[in-house]
């Protein structure tokens, strides 16, 4: 059973890593090939797998808005969000519009009225333009962080599938030879003939995209979005192609010793409490780190010779060990393992220091510096 679970996990990883590229390959082939390769199956996998994987990946990256500082941990770098979080309702609405429009186009065999088809083409056009802008936004960081490529795979596939769907629906209605009715009203009669002129559908889609966008914007304004939210979603960001905001300087999680490296763990466990200054760098500290450094300060004051020996042992074994802590889980384990030492340090401080909490509170506040920190 154990081997089956391991095999399943490996297959899932391989699927997530290579699946998007395989689907992209088939979508490119189906766009140019007359005889499609499992078109419906590929489409379903593209949208279900693409939306799911993109959402999971976006959440996994834990993107921050431009006003929040980046935390440099040595394990990874949390990038600023390529889309402002407050613009997400607009983004979701555009994506839903694009998905619904694509579905309508794909069920063309139900003899949908031409006007509905043209409006659907407008919806696809609006969503595709948004996808293209999103791809441009991401491009800047693909060269330095290849994993960002996974963010643009689904937008690329949506555009490929949409182009193919529009071409197919136009060919389908051309073969049907739609009959145009005659109306007494000249304007109505001219509009009707234009709608039944399949070759003019792309032009009509561009024209109808304007009122369709206006309707969508009016609905979104009722939910607190701005009229230009789709544009500001990309501009009110930092570190990306279209970004126009400047973020605060990055904040460093010290990565040299066991107590400091444990801060790389999950915040709910390690409980960072404030920022501090170490060697003129802004770092994050928690109570465990402050207690450990306060203990060392006390030992250094009271028994400097023993402090020198303790520091020698710690530098020799603690620092090399800390370099092997490379994941948040490992940092969590380090934090838990350091708990007994933290309690010993705390008891020692309360036994031999008149104001232990004052000493703990004044660690890493920039008032004084020590040659060594834990």
* C-alpha torsion sign, points 168, 198, 158, 97: negative
| 355 φ/ψ angles, rounded to the nearest 5 degrees | -130, 75
Residue 324 to residues 139, 256, 317, 335, Cα–Cα distance (Å): 32, 11, 12, 14
Q: In what order do the strands lie in the sheet with 281-286?
A: 71-72, 251-252, 281-286, 272-278
pLDDT in tens, 343-353: 988 998 898 88
Q: Which of 131-145, 166-180, 233-247 has the lowest mean pLDDT?
A: 166-180
Q: How confident is the model at residue 306 (pLDDT cuts 50, 70, 90)?
A: confident
Q: Is the pLDDT of residue 58 over 50?
A: yes
Q: Which residues make beta-bridge pairs with 72?
A: 77, 252
Q: Which residue in 94, 60, 61, 57 sits closest to 80, CA to CA? A: 61
pLDDT in tens, 243-296: 998 887 666 555 445 555 656 677 778 888 887 776 666 777 888 888 888 888
pTM over 0.75: no
């Amino acid at each position: 059973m154990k081997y089956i679970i391991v095999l399943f996990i490996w297959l899932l990883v391989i699927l997530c890593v290579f699946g998007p590229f395989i689907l992209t390959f088939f979508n490119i082939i189906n766009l140019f090939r007359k005889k499609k390769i499992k078109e419906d199956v590929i489409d379903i996998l593209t949208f279900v797998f693409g939306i799911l994987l993109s959402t999971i990946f976006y959440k996994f990256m834990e993107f921050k808005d431009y006003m929040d500082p980046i935390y440099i941990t040595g394990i990874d770098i949390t990038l600023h969000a390529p889309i402002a979080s407050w613009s997400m309702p607009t983004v979701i609405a555009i994506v839903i519009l694009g998905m619904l429009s694509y579905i309508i186009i794909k069920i063309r065999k139900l003899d949908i009225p031409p006007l509905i088809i043209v409006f659907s083409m407008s919806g696809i056009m609006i969503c595709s333009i948004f996808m293209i802008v999103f791809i441009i936004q991401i491009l800047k960081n693909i060269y330095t962080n290849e994993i960002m490529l996974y963010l643009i795979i689904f937008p690329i596939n949506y555009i490929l599938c949409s182009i193919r769907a529009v071409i197919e629906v136009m060919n389908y209605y051309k073969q049907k030879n739609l009959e145009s009715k005659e109306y007494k009203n000249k304007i109505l009669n001219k509009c009707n003939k234009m709608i039944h002129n399949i070759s003019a559908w792309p032009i009509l889609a561009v024209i109808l995209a304007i009122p369709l966008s206006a309707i969508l914007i009016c609905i979104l304004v009722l939910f607190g979005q701005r009229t230009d939210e789709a544009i500001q979603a990309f501009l009110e960001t930092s570190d990306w192609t279209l970004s126009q905001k400047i973020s605060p300087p990055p904040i460093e999680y010290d990565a040299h010793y066991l107590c400091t490296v444990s801060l790389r763990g999950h915040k709910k466990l390690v409980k960072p409490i404030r920022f501090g200054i170490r060697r003129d760098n802004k770092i994050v500290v928690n109570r465990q780190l402050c207690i450990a450094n306060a203990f060392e300060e006390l030992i250094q004051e009271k028994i400097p010779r023993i402090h020198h020996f303790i520091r020698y042992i710690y530098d020799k074994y603690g620092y090399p060990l800390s370099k092997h802590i490379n994941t948040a889980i490992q940092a969590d384990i380090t934090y838990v393992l350091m708990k007994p030492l933290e309690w010993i340090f705390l008891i020692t401080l309360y036994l031999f220091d008149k104001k232990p909490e004052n000493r703990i509170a004044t660690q890493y506040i920039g008032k004084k510096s020590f040659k060594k920190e834990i």
